[in-house]
Amino acid sequence: MTVTDPYHPATDAHAADVARAEAALLDPAMAHIVDVVLRAADEPDTYEAAAVDGRVRFRRRPDGPGWAFDAVRVEGRNPLADQAADRFSPLAEERANPHPDRTTTSYPFAYEQVAQLFDAPAAPDLIAIHTAAHNWADQGGHLGEHGSIGVVQARAPFIVAGAGAAQRGIVPESCRLVDVAPTVLSLLGIESRPGGGTGANGAHRDDALLARQDGDAQEVALDRGAPPARHVVGFLLDGANANVLYDLAGRGEAPNVARLMAMGTTFGHGAMSSLPTVTLANHTSILTGAHPGHHGILHNAWWDRRDGEQVITNSPAHWITAMDRLDPGVETVFSAVRRARPGSVNISLNEPCDAGADFSVFDLMRRGEMIDRPPHAEELPHATLRFVRPVKEYKWSSLVDHTAVEQFCGIWSGSYRGTAWPVPTFSWVNFSLTDAAFHEGGPYSEIAAAAVHDTDARIGEVLAAVERAGVFDQTAFFLVADHGMEESDPGCTGNWADALDDAGVAYRDEGYSFIYVNP
Ligand SMILES: [Zn+2]
């Protein structure tokens, strides 16, 4: 950092204000809601994580296409020492440890997660991570929450199935959401990108499948000896807790998810969401293979210090233009498939991260085309009426998800909106109902189970459309979420704004976690 960096004032006065803000967050009176505070240190490639009971300074060095990390100084307890990816899995383990505290939870890939975010020029001065217990319903949160790099909020399900997939059942493995895109391209038999690409550490990588590739194809889920898939269909179940989803599938409550699991490989310990573990940042990580700090969709909202502007990407008003912020150095799966399979058609249903797709609902909206009016929510197939009627978000998401199925079945039937369509090579279906319901009732609630049940039936409609097209055996499927979901403790409340205000520091808190001092 230099004094000419418009994003990071490098004055002593600014540094002192950041230190005061950090000290306020780390006050023992805030320890029930502040889990850990993250920052870039005042030396290159060096970061700090601090909690009420200790602090670590760690540094990265190139290692293959990625980074290796060394803790260079520890005071007290290292808050990120425990990075176990298998903690609190399966569901019984998670339920036995409700809202685990900083000494019992784990932070998978924590050093990498912190470092990638601070690669972004518009990264904040401090990132405050909520405790698992923190219920911030009165500040816009819910009973079910996410955003932390604690394992329960980071863990998304990941199932790979069908043509080109290995049929290993549930394996005791984990990966990261940035591994999804290279795995999907590998299912199609796509090998490296002409000219290679940029790896996680910013250096050239000959074997890259994408222009910017932080992740790696997951060989455990691939059958390299089988003919590659001709088509891939991906499902995103927003905010679906992996343990809950696998459990419901195992108990016969989600037969179509269970069918996919039987046809392939399920990452039993999940795929870990990138920091911050929020929606559009991680939709984009799934579809680009790059972390938020590299693809440019940093958070639901952030502050651009250079332009003095609040940037909002994840809201209904901003979805259609969100990809204007996508870093030009990244590539989406849509673009990569089109490059490797010239003439192919790739579709993006209800997905804001749609750059390079040939059909996208948000593209229709950008061009001002009318979207078909959905039926009344009460008349929808696969919509649990006892939640559709009273819960506004359940109703809205059921309508939206229904339209995704209609679009999929239309395009896959060969004709939609008066246009003839070939069978798409890559199809992406974003379902939002699970997020709405898991937030509303928490991951273990009846409304969450109903959302999985309804969404599973919609997946069944998609699978039937693939069968009708006569290409089921040549099609690979994958199912993923953008983050996990954890039940907070309604008795654990509070707002760190009180502590920051008392410290007398000027700041902006974006997305209730990204703290910009002297904005
Ligand atoms: Zn989400």
| CA R_g for the chain | 22
Q: How far is the CA of 62 from the centre of ligand 1 (A)?
A: 31
Strand extents, DSSP E, 320-464: 346-349, 359-360, 415-416, 419-420, 426-431
Write down the pLDDT at residue 221. 98
Q: How far is the CA of 484 from the centre of ligand 1 (A)?
A: 8
The mean pLDDT value for 45-59 works out to: 98
Is residue 238 within 8 Å of 250, Cβ to Cβ? Answer: no
- HEC-encoded secondary structure of 293-352: HHHCCCCCEEEECCCCEEEECCCCCCHHHHHHHCCCCCCCHHHHHHHHCCCCCEEEECCC
Taking only the tens place, the pLDDT of each residue in 284-309 is: 999 999 999 999 999 999 999 888 99
Q: Which of 87-96, 307-316, 337-346 has the lowest mean pLDDT?
A: 307-316
Q: How far is the CA of 323 from the centre of ligand 1 (A)?
A: 17
Domain ranges of the chain: 12-153+488-517, 158-175+219-269+312-487
Q: How far is the CA of 123 from the centre of ligand 1 (A)?
A: 20
Q: 426 falls in which pLDDT band (50, 70, 90)?
A: very high
Q: How far is the CA of 236 from the centre of ligand 1 (A)?
A: 9
Write down the pLDDT at residue 369. 84
Q: How far is the CA of 292 from the centre of ligand 1 (A)?
A: 14
Q: Do strands 415-416 and 419-420 pair parallel, antiparallel, or not at all (unpaired)? A: antiparallel
Closest to 233 in 3D by CA, of 473, 482, 481, 478: 478
The mean pLDDT value for 375-383 works out to: 89
Q: How many CB atoms lie within 10 A of CB 227?
A: 11
- HEC-encoded secondary structure of 145-208: ECCCCCHHHHEECEEEEECCECCCEEECCCEEHHHHHHHHHHHCCCCCCCCCEEECCCCEECCC
Q: How far is the CA of 300 from the centre of ligand 1 (A)?
A: 10
Write down the pLDDT at residue 4. 58
Q: How far is the CA of 6 from the centre of ligand 1 (A)?
A: 31
Tell me: pLDDT of 76 over 60. Answer: yes
Q: 3 falls in which pLDDT band (50, 70, 90)?
A: very low
Q: What is the CA 356 to chain-centroid distance, rounded?
A: 20
Verdict on whether the full-model pTM lies above 0.85: yes
How big is the chain, counted in residues?
519
Q: How far is the CA of 239 from the centre of ligand 1 (A)?
A: 5
Taking only the tens place, the pLDDT of each residue in 411-420 is: 999 999 899 9
Taking only the tens place, the pLDDT of each residue in 99-117 is: 999 999 999 999 999 999 9
Taking only the tens place, the pLDDT of each residue in 192-222 is: 999 999 999 999 999 999 999 999 999 999 9
Write down the pLDDT at residue 47. 98
Write down the pLDDT at residue 359. 94
Q: 2 falls in which pLDDT band (50, 70, 90)?
A: very low
According to DSSP, the residues that pair with 486 across neighbouring strands are 145
- Residues with CB under 5 Å of ion ligand 1 are 238-239, 279, 435, 482
- Work out the percent of the chain whose per-residue pLDDT is above 90: 91
Taking only the tens place, the pLDDT of each residue in 119-174 is: 999 999 999 999 999 998 888 889 999 999 999 999 999 999 999 999 999 999 99
Q: How far is the CA of 220 from the centre of ligand 1 (A)?
A: 26
Q: How far is the CA of 277 from the centre of ligand 1 (A)?
A: 8
Is residue 231 within 8 Å of 187, Cβ to Cβ? Answer: no
Q: 314 falls in which pLDDT band (50, 70, 90)?
A: confident
Amino acid 380 reads L
Q: Which of 158-167, 186-195, 243-252, 357-366 has the lowest mean pLDDT?
A: 357-366
DSSP letters spanning 89-115: -SHHHHHTSSS--TTT---TTHHHHHH
Write down the pLDDT at residue 1. 44
Query: Which class would CATH give 158-175+219-269+312-487?
Result: alpha beta
Q: How far is the CA of 271 from the centre of ligand 1 (A)?
A: 14
